[in-house]
Amino acid sequence: MPTYRVYYAERMPHGARDWMRALGARRLDSDTEQVRHREIEWEEELEARSAAEALDAFFREHVSDQTQVMWVDETGQSHELQGVEDYDPEKTYIWIEDDKLMEYQGMDEATPGMVTCPLCGGEGEVVAEVAEEFTAEDEDEGWA
């Protein structure tokens, strides 16, 4: 079964739930840039038969139900999901998790035995042992 690497980010500090309520969770635009001053990137690996199934499994782990997920169009307008909808790996999704606004940023099919390259900012894959060696060297030099 294929493994998928899902990329997502925490888009702002604590208090996102109140911020989303105040704005009605309808628009993410330049007015919010002063609020979104911090981003922490995350990634998870999931096994699934397809990218859509991997995304479904990802959201089942991160929200209690599909009504807590919204998708964002090209203009920055957020939309509620309609009924039981299959997730589209090409769309941008947002949700609140632990009082933080989270944003799905995409996914890749992972190559067996490979991990995200710690040197190239997630742009490629390397053998797990090489990544571990690099990370260990960074920790020894005080970089990590």
Average pLDDT, the chain: 78
pTM of the model: 0.66
Residue 129 and residue 95 share a domain: no
Residue 60 and residue 124 share a domain: no
Residue 129 and residue 65 share a domain: no
pLDDT at residue 2 is higher than 90 = no
User: For 42-63, what is each residue's pLDDT tens digit?
Assistant: 989 899 999 999 999 999 999 9
pLDDT at residue 35 is higher than 50 = no
Please tell me the number of Cα atoms within 13 Å of 72 on its side-chain side. 17
Residue 121 and residue 99 share a domain: no
Residue 104 and residue 120 share a domain: no
**72 and 32 Cβ atoms separated by less than 8 Å:** no
In percent, the amount of the chain with pLDDT more than 90 equals: 38
pLDDT tier for residue 30 given thresholds of 50, 70 and 90? very low
Tell me what the mean pLDDT of segment 116-129 comes to: 65
User: For 96-111, what is each residue's pLDDT tens digit?
Assistant: 998 889 999 999 888 7
Tell me what the mean pLDDT of segment 137-142 comes to: 62
pLDDT at residue 13 is higher than 60 = no
Query: For position 22, what pLDDT does the model report?
Result: 59
Residue 144 and residue 105 share a domain: no
Domain that holds residue 141: 111-144
Query: For position 126, what pLDDT does the model report?
Result: 65
Residue 115 and residue 105 share a domain: no
pLDDT tier for residue 122 given thresholds of 50, 70 and 90? low
Residue 51 and residue 24 share a domain: yes
Question: Does residue 67 or residue 32 have the better pLDDT?
Answer: 67
**The total number of structural domains that make up the chain:** 2
Residue 119 and residue 104 share a domain: no
Residue 22 and residue 54 share a domain: yes
Residue 54 and residue 40 share a domain: yes
Residue 127 and residue 70 share a domain: no
